[in-house]
Structure 1
Amino acid sequence: MMNSHKELFSHLRSLFLPFLLLLGQIGLKVEARLLCHSSEKLFVFGDSYVDTGNTNKEYPGSWKDPYGMTYPGKPSGRFSDGRVLTDYIADYLGLKSPIAYQLRNEVPSYYLKYGMNFACGGTGLFAGNPNMTTQIDFFEQLIEENVYNASDLNNSLALLSALGNDYFDYLKHGSIWGFKSFVDSLVNQMTTNLIRIQKLGVKKIVVTSLPPFGCIPAISGFNPLKRCLNIINIIPIAHNKLLNQSITKLNQETIDGATFVFLDLYDSFMSVINDPSTNNITEYYTACCLGVSSKYVCGSVDENNEKQYKVCENPESTMFWDPIHPTQAGWHAVYNNLQMDDLGQLQC
């Protein structure tokens, strides 16, 4: 997701003053709207937090050892040692995790009955190849080919996740003085995507909030106190506030029974981090899998195919697998918090 953590942090730190100007417009808690789950299929769009196998197999991580060591016991294209958010949402809906789009022709056709996952590591609303617009193009093409019909879509749920790649790309090239406009453009594009998926026939559409950037090891590792850099969290707080407002407006304007849901990952992550008594995690700010030097990342090997990474002894008690992505245990804790505070309040 990032080539240089130090370079990224330098750019992020430079945003401190402009984002202070936004604080007066920001609420510290975003309320989630929820929906009754009777979905027969799950369609997923987004990035590495929900990808289950669409990233190129030559890309570092995901398809390389030791990714997947906890589940399914080998690399499966998930950016974790095991399950990711998609798997937990699918399980909640009573479904098997939908097949990755790039694997659709490698499995029996009955796998398609659970939906499909178009998400790909590195994706953003604008960033990545494919970006989210292209992922939705893939979805629309399958509809045109009658792989999925109107009944399938009417009884399905779409999950959209764009959790930071656009911001990391912008910070490499953009001006801090244009940042507020960039936030607006991202929220507007996400809103456009939500409306497009609704018009394709999906009635239940969930979009995740940005997580607390300042708490991922790639960022919090720069804090000598080994805790979240809350200054950096101003970014997702601002984004989430605007996104939630847009979703609220969509729900007020929709007339065909569609429901848009804001899934508050930010609050869930923070609840897990701030209240260790609710889970078995003891390490929050150091990744479980790291390269042996700054030259390498988790999953790297040298020219002799010798591994150049190290893995912690207890991923089940560690929040983050690599400097950006949660472990299976981390996702399970986040999901459990969502289940208690959000998913458990569904009203049919």
Structure 2
Amino acid sequence: MGSNKHIFSLIFLSLILLLFSGGEASGQHMNFRPTKLFVFGDSYVDTGNHGRRLSFSWKDPYGITFPGKPAGRFSDGRVLTDFIAKYWGVKSPVPYRLKRLMPQHLKNGMNFAYGGTGVFDTWIPAPNMTTQIDLFQQLIKDKLYTATDLNYSVALVSVAGNDYSHYISNNGSTEGFPSFISSVVNQMRSNLKRIHELGVKKVAVGGLQPLGCLPRNTASSTFQRCNDTSNTLVAFHNSLLSQAVTKLNQEGKDHSTFILLNLYDSFMSVLNHPSTHNIQNQFQPCCIGVSSEYSCGNVDDNSVKKYSVCDDPKSAFFWDLVHPTQAGWHAVYNKLQTSNALQQILY
């Protein structure tokens, strides 16, 4: 009888150990469930950091799909941040500019992204990526977020397209482009490492989208085809970024700390097979100026609209000359899901 009790005790103890080890005795690992999201970058992830008077993202017809009025997003509705936050089970975080107006939402993390900004300074007088991280670091120093908070957090980074637009607008040479791309990626690598060193558990960075397929670059072909030269430069950027992410993971203890989101392939998959995603117009933007001197959201001195909006934004991939519609972002997000990159954050 005594030996039976001993056996039952051992079995019971084994079960307890198995439960509290999260199943590791069978080779499984506990899932990582983030509670906070911190966002850095540009207009692809900005959810309202620019002032209402300074940005067209606060003007009609932006936001007509969601939330039904302009709300600071560079789209007719939701952007990449919103879809990815939902997938990770986190609420889309409050924009840094609105942190005092919406203190109840600080528990979800914070969005430091500003449309038009880059890794380095651009033509937009707003915080570049390094300065955005400075703002984040200051909040940590102010004890707005604890080490425990950060240990259950994820960072989303989307940046660099504006760096290259700025380089071109400043008459940067074709010969100097590869060197400039290298400097952008090197700085990105330092910034990604810094975000993690501040305590953020996982860092997801978006590869560059096919810039040659943006309507501002396809307009010359009446929105019929991508600019291959631009996309070749994007491919070089993404190759260097992939190498940088691989090296960062090799240097760390956890080889899945940094995750690369392949926006290029996700964009191209949708653009090459639009009907699969119920997209009818893959290159023609939904909202466009009545002539080349105007753009989406422009009005004249008499408040007369100088733009037109398509009948159904859900049928278009692009909202304006640069940004996807909510439907476009949803299609890209669906492709990202199939790549398993988003899932890697949760392990």
Pick the TM interval, shorter chain.
Answer: 0.7 to 0.9
Is residue 198–residue 258 contact of structure 1 (8 Å, CA) maintained in 2?
no
Task: Give CA-to-partner distance per residue, 1:120-147, whole Å, 9 cap, x none.
Answer: 0111000242101110011001000011
- From 105, 115, 120, give the equivalent of 1:121: 115
Unmatched runs of 5 consecutive residues or more in structure 2: 1-30
- Equivalent residues, number: 313
Alpha carbons of structure 1 residues 68 and 225: separation in structure 2 relative to 1, 3 Å: closer
Is 1:58 the equivalent of 2:53?
Answer: yes
Unmatched runs of 5 consecutive residues or more in structure 1: 1-35
1:257 deviates by 7.1
C-alpha distance in 1 between matches for 2:176 and 2:291: 35
1:279 deviates by 0.6
- From 128, 132, 136, give the equivalent of 1:135: 132
Q: Which moved more, 1:271-280 or 1:157-166?
A: 271-280
Task: Give CA-to-partner distance per residue, 1:194-248, whole Å, 9 cap, x none.
Answer: 1111110011001100000111111012125702222321011000000000100
What is aligned with 2:36?
Answer: 41
- TM-score normalized by the length of structure 1: 0.86
What is aligned with 2:310?
Answer: 312
C-alpha distance in 1 between matches for 2:177 and 2:99: 38
Is residue 300–residue 306 contact of structure 2 (8 Å, CA) maintained in 1?
yes
1:276 deviates by 2.5
Is 1:101 the equivalent of 2:96?
Answer: yes
Alpha carbons of structure 1 residues 305 and 168: separation in structure 2 relative to 1, 3 Å: same
C-alpha distance in 1 between matches for 2:152 and 2:236: 33
Is residue 249–residue 255 contact of structure 2 (8 Å, CA) maintained in 1?
no
C-alpha distance in 2 between matches for 1:148 and 1:251: 25
What is aligned with 1:285?
Answer: 283
Aligned-residue sequence identity (percent) comes to 57
The code of the aligned residue for 2:93 comes to P
- TM-score normalized by the length of structure 2: 0.87
Counterparts of 1:152-231 in structure 2 under 5 Å? 152-173=149-170, 174-224=172-222, 226-231=224-229
What is aligned with 1:239?
Answer: 237
Alpha carbons of structure 1 residues 333 and 225: separation in structure 2 relative to 1, 3 Å: closer
1:333 deviates by 0.3
Higher relative contact order, structure no. (Cα contacts within 8 Å, ≥ 6 residues apart): 1
The code of the aligned residue for 1:198 comes to H
Task: Give CA-to-partner distance per residue, 1:237-263, whole Å, 9 cap, x none.
Answer: 000000000100110111267700100
Q: CA RMSD in A?
A: 1.7
Q: Which runs of 4+ in 1 moved over 6 A?
A: none
C-alpha distance in 2 between matches for 1:225 and 1:79: 20
